[in-house]
Chains A and B, each alone.
Chain A
Amino acid sequence: MSESMNMITLLLFATMRALIGERKMDLEIQPGSHVRDLRAQLSAQYPHAAQALKATLFSINREFATDEALIPDGAEVAIFPQVSGG
């Protein structure tokens, strides 16, 4: 593991969990990565999920985050489809 990388925890829910086959993973990301960069990183790593990753919602530390959001070191990031509770 490179010391210059940031570590995040990625949580996956619903269709994203089903597609990627993991509930939780620790990931290395480049310092200064934004949500759009993580979207690209995951699409490269899981090409079969690339289409779904284009539309998936992201949260950072339990707040909704858009493509422009910076991902801090140690963040809890989650990916999931539009919510359907009730």
Chain B
Amino acid sequence: MTVFPTIFSITEDELNLNDVLSQITLPSTGAACFFTGMVRAKTTRGEPYQTDYLEYEAYAPMAESKMKQIAVEIRERWPSVEGIAMIQRVGRLFPGTPTVMIACTAAHRDTGVFEAAHYGIDRLKQIVPVWKKEMGPDKQKWVEGDYSPQAGE
């Protein structure tokens, strides 16, 4: 039986999307869906503001354990998913820099691989203990989420 690769990490290193893709591509893989987020220099949704850089920190062991849990949740919902990679970069990250990536692979594009990656990033933003501080020309501000996990979630 093929063991599907699951990669999860908190890292200070640059994200290498090609390297990750090769790690989750199997002989049976024909589709990959990537989500990556990057630092935005200019925000125009709501009150406009500028960002010089973001300072990320993580509770790394818990974060990696929660990423592993999300991979289990993805496999329960979309059994056709083959490889899963979830990587969050931490430290001081400047505009244009990818900060997070989630990638899922599958044999074909139409068995949930898009939905799986979408679920992965949404879930990461709910339960993976990572925080960021906005550093701008006019202000410094911790960004706070809006989700309170249940016990054991």
Which A positions have Cβ atoms within 8 angstroms of B? Answer: 11, 13-15, 18, 57, 59, 62-66, 68-69, 78, 80-86
Contact = CB atoms under 8 A, between A and B. Distances in A.
B94 interface: no
Indicate the member of A13, A15, A18 with the most B CB atoms within 10 Å: A13
A63 B131 CA distance: 17
Interface string B73-109: 0000000000000001000000000011000000000
A84 B151 contact: no
B136 interface: no
Contacts of A81: 131, 142, 144-145
Interface in B104-153: 121, 124-133, 142-153
A83 B147 contact: yes
Nearest to A81: B144
Nearest to A83: B145
